[in-house]
């Protein structure tokens, strides 16, 4: 039996999403920019999808820009807002040390290649960014502040409302990477102090290769891509009609099932932690992140004394898919930059494994998998 516990990396597509996309893919086609009937039909699918997603997250349809995924949304937000703000005399960027690399590396690129000043804020042992820390570094020249909503490695949820109020009061633009929280938390973007927010379809049982960027009305923004007039001239290029429709279907399912899903994910998460702590000897399991203010589907655990790479290899051989951190970097030998930023001990840093749950996982499945994980841990410890 195989166990997929890596939903934070990517999720299986929901059958209704597949059905929606296949119907469009098998249709006659049509470019949304064409004036004939097939082009108008494609444009209609895009517009209806945009309307549905905008309603679900509480913004105007015109404030929603479709992209190729979370990384592009982060890049477009940061580079687009930073360049626009520089025209207003602002050249300072603020982010945190626990951001996804799509944000961190983009901020570093802006500093190295375009001359922006960069401040990287620390996080505490639970991965939290403290609003007072943000306030201390804000200055009249601050252009953009980027703080993620829910951490993709440890699940910690950031106080974006408190941070956003401080940022907007300073005249800076506030960007939030919300890739992990879409589908896990409720949004009313029109009431949040957020200028830009990034989303990705494949984290919510939608297709890979499509995402969205919320750009609140009046936010300074320069497009990253130039060419046609698609997406109100904010992102040139022929739209991925089937992907966008699949994304909208996935969002619709998330909205309808969010409360039930959240409760179930919470139950899976607590069951997993409790069962492993019961089965593994010597209190050798430590939870990384915030135990309460956290995403319901992510669990990051350190198995003290066992190297992460060894643990992941043994888990894989036993048919259990887990991760060492972000899927974008888990193929490398580098230790998690998030856990390093949290200041964890070497023992915790070197033995951390992320489990993340979602569509298809059951309590029975976790009850079956927990003894397998515990057996691996106890055998490795006995050998050590």
Q: Which of 43-52, 61-70, 274-283 has the lowest mean pLDDT?
A: 274-283
Structure confidence at residue 37 (pLDDT): 95
Q: Average pLDDT in the 69-97 region?
A: 98
What average pLDDT score do residues 357-378 get? 96
Which of 59, 107, 254, 328 is the catalytic position? Answer: 328
Residues 24 and 150 reside in one and the same domain = yes
- Are 323 and 289 part of one and the same domain? yes
Beta bridge partners of 120: 95
pLDDT digits (tens, 9 = 90+) for 314-348: 999 999 999 986 555 445 557 899 999 999 999 99
CATH code, domain with 51: 3.40.640.10
* Mean pLDDT of the chain, nearest integer: 95
Final residue of a domain: which of 201, 227, 253?
253
pLDDT in tens, 204-262: 999 999 999 999 999 999 999 999 999 989 999 999 999 999 999 999 999 888 889 99
Judge if 61 and 158 occupy the same domain. yes
- Amino acid 29: pLDDT: 84
Q: Do residues 346 and 228 share a domain?
A: no
The C-alpha atoms of residue 237 and residue 76 are separated, in whole angstroms, by: 14
- State whether 205 and 336 are in the same domain: no
Q: Are residues 63 and 98 in the same domain?
A: yes
Domain match, 143 and 29 both = yes
pLDDT of residue 281: 76
User: Does residue 99 share a domain with residue 232?
Assistant: yes
**66-70, 196-200, 234-238: lowest mean pLDDT where?**
234-238
Show Cβ contacts of residue 256 under 8 Å, excluding neighbours closer than 6 positions.
none
Q: Which of 213, 228, 253 is at the close of a domain?
A: 253
* 95 and 75 fall within a common domain: yes
Distance CA 67, CA 71 (A): 9
pLDDT of the residue at 256 = 84
Cα four-point dihedral sign 262, 195, 65, 76: negative
**Boundaries of domain holding 190:** 15-253
pLDDT tens readout for residues 128-142: 999 999 999 999 999
Provide the whole-model pTM.
Answer: 0.95
Q: Looking at the chain, how many residues does it have?
A: 384
> Do both 158 and 47 map to the same domain?
yes
Catalytic site includes residue 328: yes
39 pLDDT above the threshold of 60: yes
**Token reading at 225:** 């891509």
Cα separation, 47 vs 55, in Å, equals 12
Q: Which of 1-15, 103-117, 147-161, 332-346 comes out lowest in average pLDDT?
A: 332-346
User: What is the domain-level CATH number for residue 275?
Assistant: 3.90.1150.10
* Total of domains in the chain: 2
Whole-angstrom distance, CA of residue 67 vs CA of residue 47: 15
Give, in degrees to the nearest 5, the angle at Cα 289 between 285 and 292.
Answer: 100
Q: Of 253, 278, 307, which one is at a domain's C-terminal end?
A: 253
Domain co-membership, 233 together with 198: yes
At residue 335, the pLDDT reads 82
């Amino acid at each position: 039996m195989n166990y997929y516990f890596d939903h934070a990396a990517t999720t299986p597509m929901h059958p209704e999403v597949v059905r929606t996309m296949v119907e469009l893919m098998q249709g006659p086609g049509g470019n949304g920019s064409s004036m004939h009937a097939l082009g108008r039909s494609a444009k209609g699918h895009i517009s209806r999808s945009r309307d549905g997603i905008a309603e679900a997250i509480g913004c105007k349809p015109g404030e929603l820009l479709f992209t190729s995924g979370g990384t592009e949304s982060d890049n477009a937000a940061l580079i687009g807002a930073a360049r626009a703000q520089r025209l207003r005399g602002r050249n300072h960027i603020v982010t945190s040390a626990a951001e996804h690399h799509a944000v961190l590396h983009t901020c570093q690129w802006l500093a190295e290649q375009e001359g922006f000043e960069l401040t990287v804020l620390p996080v505490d042992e639970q991965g939290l960014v403290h609003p007072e820390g943000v306030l201390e570094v804000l200055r009249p020249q601050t252009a953009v502040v980027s703080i993620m909503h829910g951490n993709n490695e440890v699940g910690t949820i950031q106080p974006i409302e408190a941070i956003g109020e401080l940022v907007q009061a300073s005249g800076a633009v506030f960007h939030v990477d919300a890739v992990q929280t879409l589908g896990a938390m409720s949004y009313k973007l029109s009431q949040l102090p957020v200028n830009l927010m990034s989303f990705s379809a494949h984290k919510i049982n939608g297709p890979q290769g499509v995402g969205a960027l919320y750009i609140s009305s009046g936010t300074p923004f320069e497009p990253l891509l130039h060419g046609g007039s698609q997406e109100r001239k904010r992102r040139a290029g022929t739209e991925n009609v089937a992907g966008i429709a699949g994304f909208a279907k996935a969002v619709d399912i998330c909205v309808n099932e969010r409360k039930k899903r959240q409760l179930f994910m919470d139950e899976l998460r607590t069951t997993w932690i409790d069962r492993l702590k019961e089965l593994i000897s010597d209190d050798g399991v430590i939870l990384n992140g915030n135990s309460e203010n956290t995403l319901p589907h992510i669990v990051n655990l350190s198995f003290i004394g066992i190297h992460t790479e060894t643990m992941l290899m043994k888990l894989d051989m036993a048919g259990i898919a887990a991760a060492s951190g972000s899927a974008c970097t888990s193929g490398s030998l580098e230790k998690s930059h998030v856990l390093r930023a949290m200041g964890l001990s070497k023992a915790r840093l070197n033995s951390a494994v992320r489990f993340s749950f979602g569509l298809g996982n059951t309590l029975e499945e976790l009850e079956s998998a927990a003894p397998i994980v515990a057996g691996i841990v106890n055998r490795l410890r006995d050998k050590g």
